Amino acid sequence: MATNEIQDVSNLFRKHFNQTPAYTVRAPGRLELLGNHTDYNDGLVMALAVNRYIAIAVSPRADGKIELVSSAFPNKESFSVDRIEKNPAAPWADYVKGVLLQLRKRGVHFNGFNAAIHGTIPIGAGMSSSAALEVGTALAVRKLFPFKLRPGGGLDEAPQRDSKGELPPIPPAERLEFAKIGQAAENEFVGVKCGILDQISSLFGKAQCVVDIDCRSLTVENPPMPGEAVIVCNSSVKHELVGGEYNELRQNCENAARKLGAKFLRTVEVKDVEANKAKLTQREYECARHVTTEIARVVAGGKALREGDHQQFGQYMFQSHESSRDFLKNSTKELDILVDLASKHPACLGARLTGGGFGGATINLVRHHEALSFMEYMQREYEKATGIKMTPIACEIVDGAA
Ligand code: GLA
């Protein structure tokens, strides 16, 4: 696994800790392909794990301290295993600390360690660098202090290393527990009430395939992805208070579901939303309308993919963006410009904002042979329209972590 990230993170580790790391892990970022803000509504969503990673290099230490360095932030973060608390000077470490606390809650025992973190996922682009860091942290702790998560809670007997010192692969049911730990870390420690999309995508990705998630049954399928190019355009505009805005959307969805007599919007249909509009506030109506139509779009998108109708699938991507923009209202001027420009390029099948929104990136499905011309066109036209320099990223669809 001598990829660039692994080499770079090993070098970073050696530079800071003056030793060779005992273990390295990496977890990929993800792109949400279709299904915006459907996951925490018990809905359906499709994603892709892509070849951008968070890599972590670790070694145990004997003094009960944990020391973290990151290539993305200037200061080291150091704390004792007995005192895992937030440090406002190093908010990036919260994702690691949140996971450590969740593992402890599950009964996992760990001692001190050194860790270096290096990533190739652009931060704030909506490609889930945070979930990759959470997943990577849990995998790194497993390498250092082997444990086996029992589906539904608790631990089973720890796995044994083979003659080469390797641990057995993590079966799917246990991988789901890793995803839940990452999500709980973010919900309870970081304070973003995210769904489980990002963590599942990072763990259940499959090369050239979609991660197709049913968030009610927590089942995952990996249908093949057509051989089109997947291109990310990062608007480079991040809005403040992302956590606050995200949690507010979730609250509106939950309120709407309750007023419509459901636990989650998954079981509500758009006609019920329309018929009961008077029961809802304007924002609840808008959020419910987006989520119910979006879940239906994921169903229809799945059918189009299976039938090989990429043109139709792309249309659902455009419709998804319009619904996010007009109803969920988590788009931005810059994301709208990116989607509008993409829609005018003949090789673009579909484009939409990807992830939480309020800034970040768009995902574009583009005819393979014209990917380069599309990228040049987007770079040129986005700068013309906004004055912002942006380099589109062509992504490969890869296997998940573990
Ligand atoms: C963020 C969250 C996910 C999901 C998406 C929107 O990425 O972390 O759980 O809600 O936004 O679909």
* CA–CA gap between residue 205 and residue 41 (Å, rounded): 22
| CA–CA distance, 38 with 155 (Å, rounded to integer) | 30
Residue range 93-111: average pLDDT? 98
Question: In this structure, is residue 401 part of a structural domain?
Answer: no
What gap in Å lies between CA 346 and CA 366, rounded to an integer? 9
Q: Is the shortest distance between the CB of 36 and ligand 1 below 6 Å?
A: yes
Question: According to the model, what pLDDT value does residue 286 have?
Answer: 98
Angle, nearest 10°, between helix axes 197-204 and 129-144? 60
Per-residue pLDDT band at 226 (split at 50, 70, 90): confident
Pair (263, 358) in one structural domain: yes
What is the pLDDT, as a whole number, of residue 1? Answer: 45
Q: How many domains does the chain have?
A: 2
Strands in 99-228 per DSSP E: 113-119, 148-149, 155-156, 211-214, 219-221
User: Which CATH number goes with the domain that contains 81?
Assistant: 3.30.230.10
Which of 189, 214, 239 is the last residue in one of the domains? 214
- Residue 224 bridge partners (DSSP): 209
Indicate if 275 and 329 belong to the same structural domain.
Answer: yes
The per-residue pLDDT for 129 is 95
Kindly report, residue by residue over 246-258, the tens digit of the pLDDT: 999 999 999 999 9
Same domain, 335 and 265: yes
CB 42 within 8 A of CB 164: no
pLDDT at 242 over 70: no
Show which of 174, 194, 214 is a domain's final residue. 214
Tell me if 298 CB under 6 Å of ligand 1.
no
pLDDT of residue 241: 45
Q: For Cα atoms 111, 116, 117, give the angle at the middle one, nearest 5 degrees.
A: 115
Q: Which domain holds residue 239?
A: 226-395
DSSP string, 130-155: HHHHHHHHHHHHHHHS--EEPTTSSE
Tokens at 350, concatenated: 């579909």
The pLDDT assigned to 124 comes to 83
Q: In this model, does residue 306 exceed pLDDT 90?
A: yes
Residue 402: pLDDT above 80?
Answer: no
Q: Output the pLDDT for position 239.
A: 61
Considering the domain architecture, whether residues 75 and 203 belong to the same structural domain is answered as: yes
Chain-centroid distance of CA 330 in Å reads: 17
Q: Is the CB of 294 under 6 A from ligand 1?
A: no
Question: Average of pLDDT values for 40-45?
Answer: 98
Structure tokens at 115: 């860790």
Classify burial at 68, counting beta carbons within 10 Å of its beta carbon; exposed 0-12, middle 13-18, buried 19 or more: buried
Per-residue pLDDT tens over the stretch 113-135: 999 999 999 888 889 999 999 99
Residue nearest to atom 9 of ligand 1 (CA): 195
Q: Does the residue 220 lie in any domain?
A: no
Assess whether pLDDT exceeds 60 at residue 151: yes
Beta-bridge partners for 223: none
- Which one is catalytic: 198, 214, 272, 336? 198
Q: Which of 214, 239, 265 is the last residue of a domain?
A: 214
Over residues 181-207, the pLDDT tens digits come to: 999 999 999 999 999 999 999 999 999
18 located within any domain: yes
Let me know if residue 314 belongs to a domain: yes
pTM higher than 0.95 for the full model?
yes
- Looking from the CA of residue 130, the nearest atom of ligand 1 is 8
* Residue 134 φ/ψ, nearest 5 degrees: -65, -50
